[in-house]
Amino acid sequence: MSEVAPLPERAAEFRRRFHAVQEEIGKVVVGQPDIVSGVLTCLFVGGHCLLEGVPGLGKTLLVRTLAQVLDLEFNRIQFTPDLMPSDILGTNIITETESGGRAFQFQRGPIFAQIVLADEINRATPKTQSALLEAMQEHRVTIGGKMHQLEEPFFVLATQNPIEQEGTYPLPEAQLDRFLFKLIVPFVTREELATILDRTTRNDWVQPQKIMDGREIQQWQSLVREVLIAPAVQDYAIRLVLATHPESEFATEPTKRFLRCGASPRGAQTMILAAKVRALLAGRYNVSFDDLRSVYFPAMRHRVLLNFEAQAENLPPDQLLQQILALVPEKAELAAR
């Protein structure tokens, strides 16, 4: 479709293509519609996604299937305690030239792909995890003082297991903040488990077809940013973020009691961009209050730091965010700018 087509036409085509990718993934991945939708939202916003769930729920299968549906270069990195930053980024090696001399040549690591699966990311040391910081934010890596640009679109999907703590390391806050969404993968239903057994215990494997390439993805990422947001709705997103800061004038009582540190400005950016995708999928060209609320938890649950009291009471971040969401009103007087 032409880039100069009217917004309603492009929005309708976006919805059709979004659902086409979703349906193709559904031929392999059973159930989990909210997780698939969340991953695709990250894709069309241009952000990264962290998937958390117990083993066997299809997190890796989802990422691998997404790579098959999209015509993008894919690499998988299995994170282990002995993994080094150079194993991810690459390194300079000494090679022999045609004249018999020696020279340094950069050997690219697996980060040089368009979809990168960081499998069990919390098994690597913080030093190795931090190797992803520049790549995730700047879409480039610096080796030996020389910058190497990553090919667009660039998308990191990471998985982690929440129940096994031995041999794992918590992700640095700076890295967590670079994930657009943190999605909690739930256990499957009875019907979904029956379908999984039917597919995996028979010769009934389905090979998904490629639906979309990188150029089209970038086109939809540009379309998302054209969706409008009213000042009052944007201010609601701002106050939802500020309400997570204990020292803010908008801080709620649960915030002051249980939070050590609130979300960064990336939290507000994430909510607004993800809400624009939700608006387009609903057939609207402007963001609503409900759109913001629908993306609040995956956008914020990994960006708030609980204090000791919250940890002692075993308070989940989502429960605290639910209290904040209930206490922040939709409309308030806009501060003078």
pLDDT, tens digit (0-9, with 9 covering 90-100), for 228-266: 999 999 999 999 999 999 998 888 898 898 998 889 999
* Residue 332 banded pLDDT, cuts 50, 70, 90: confident
Neighbours of 333 (CB within 10 A): 6
Q: What percent of the chain has pLDDT over 70?
A: 96
pLDDT level of residue 287 (50, 70, 90 thresholds): very high
Q: What is the pLDDT of residue 167?
A: 64
Tell me: pLDDT of 337 over 50: no
Q: Does the pLDDT of residue 3 top 60, yes or no? A: no
- Summary mean pLDDT of the chain: 87
Determine the Cα–Cα distance for residues 20 and 257; give it in Å rounded to an integer: 45
Stretch 17-46: mean pLDDT = 91
Residue with the larger pLDDT of the pair 187 and 3: 187
pLDDT band at 221 (very low <50, low <70, confident <90, very high): very high
pLDDT digits (tens, 9 = 90+) for 115-167: 999 999 888 888 888 888 888 989 998 887 788 889 889 999 999 887 766 66
CATH 1.20.1250.20 corresponds to the domain 227-337: no
pLDDT: is 144 or 193 the higher one?
A: 193
The superfamily in CATH containing domain 1-81+114-226 is P-loop containing nucleotide triphosphate hydrolases (3.40.50.300)
Domain ranges of the chain: 1-81+114-226, 227-337
Q: In the structure encoding, which two tokens stand for residue 327, read together?
A: 């206490």
Question: In this predicted structure, what is the pLDDT of residue 165?
Answer: 65
pTM: 0.87
pLDDT digits 0-9 by tens, 289-309: 999 999 999 999 999 998 898
Checking if the pLDDT of 33 tops 50, the result is yes
**pLDDT, position 2:** 46
Q: What is the pLDDT of residues 71-114, one digit of tens each?
A: 889 999 999 888 898 889 888 777 777 776 777 777 888 999 99
